């Protein structure tokens, strides 16, 4: 597999902050792969994602290097789709669902409005939005949280980006729809050679489909490598802690049972 981008000794410090949010990260991202980024809240996952996408706020200090194969960084919206952790950051409240999703397809695929709307409807169906044709005229506030997240995913994918960064993009979806979205992203990686960078706190979800994982803590990359080897033989104590704290349906409850 070829390398999409090489990150070397990257540090990112927000304006007026004493400490970097991401410090001394060195990581290769493979083209056409599925990379899961896992780690503690506040450990710098979204910051790394925003850095790759060129979406950092003004006056943020970045040191180190990001080398993109091909020389130039990907253009957000066109080469790179981004689904934000908060759906309200991904969607414009005054545009209809149809307008937001069609916009990317129209601008970047050179489609007319009619074709762009057809592509929009197709994308909404692929993210399992029911009555997709009727959803086109709805506004974001008229959707459920999970529907908004799926629209944001459809909008990010509409322009057929070569890279998709999904920041906790399935965290508010029920597990059935979540599995369908993951299968859709998996298809795009396989069939359209898309590179997927998937930020999640759900280690079980990542274990099922990521080729590689990168584990973050306190702004540092703790370890990275093929999913199978990192999870089966974690080199770092923090990764082991993550695996141990995984909660599943057999974990002991924190409250006493209600009487039947």
Ligand X SMILES: Nc1ncnc2c1ncn2[C@@H]1O[C@H](COP(=O)(O)OP(=O)(O)OP(=O)(O)O)[C@@H](O)[C@H]1O
For binding to ligand X (CB under 6 A), which residues are involved? 14, 17, 21, 39, 41-47, 57, 85, 142-147
Between 86 and 192, whose beta carbon lies closer to ligand X? 86
CA–centroid distance for 227 within its chain: 17
Residues that bind other proteins (CB under 8 A): 14, 38-43, 46, 85-89, 96, 130-131, 134-135, 137-139, 142, 144-148, 150, 167-168, 171-179, 201-205, 207-208, 227-229, 231-233, 241-243, 245-249, 251, 253-260
- For the chain, percent helix, then strand, then coil, each to nearest 5? 40, 25, 40
Task: Indicate the DSSP class of residue 140.
Answer: G
The closest residue (CB) to ligand X is 146
Between 2 and 244, whose beta carbon lies closer to other proteins? 244
Tell which one of 145, 175, 229, 246 touches Mg ion (CB under 5 A). Answer: 145
First to last CA, the chain: 55
Piece in contact with Mg ion (CB under 5 A), picked from 62-70, 72-80, 137-145, 248-256 = 137-145
Piece in contact with Mg ion (CB under 5 A), picked from 99-107, 114-122, 145-153, 186-194 = 145-153
Site string for Mg ion, 197-226 (x = CB under 5 A): ------------------------------
151 CB-near residues (< 8 Å, 6+ apart): 87, 91, 97, 100, 101, 124, 127, 129, 135, 140, 143
Tokens of 134: 């009727």
Tokens of 128: 């399992």
Between 106 and 198, whose beta carbon lies closer to ligand X? 198
């Amino acid at each position: 597999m070829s390398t999409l981008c090489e990150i070397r000794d990257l540090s990112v410090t927000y304006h007026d902050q004493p400490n970097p949010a991401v410090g001394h990260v060195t990581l290769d991202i493979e083209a056409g792969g599925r990379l899961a980024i896992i780690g503690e809240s506040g450990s710098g996952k979204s910051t790394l994602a925003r850095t790759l996408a060129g979406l950092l706020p003004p006056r943020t200090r970045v040191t180190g290097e990001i080398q993109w194969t091909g020389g130039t960084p990907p253009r957000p919206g066109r080469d790179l789709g981004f689904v934000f952790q908060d759906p309200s950051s991904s969607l414009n409240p005054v545009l209809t669902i149809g307008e937001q999703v069609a916009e990317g397809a129209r601008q970047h695929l050179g489609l007319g409005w009619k074709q762009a709307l057809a592509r929009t409807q197709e994308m909404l169906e692929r993210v399992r939005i029911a009555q997709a044709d009727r959803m086109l005229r709805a506004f974001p506030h008229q959707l459920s949280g999970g529907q908004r997240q799926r629209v944001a995913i459809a909008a990010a994918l509409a322009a057929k980006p070569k890279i998709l960064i999904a920041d906790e993009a399935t965290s508010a979806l029920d597990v059935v729809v979540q599995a369908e979205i993951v299968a859709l992203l998996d298809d795009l990686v396989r069939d359209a050679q898309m590179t997927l960078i998937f930020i999640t706190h759900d280690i079980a979800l990542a274990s099922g489909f990521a080729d590689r994982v990168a584990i973050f803590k306190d702004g540092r990359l703790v370890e990275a490598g093929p999913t199978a080897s990192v999870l089966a033989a974690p080199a770092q104590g923090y990764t082991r802690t993550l695996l141990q704290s995984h909660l599943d349906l057999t974990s002991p409850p924190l409250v006493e049972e209600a009487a039947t």
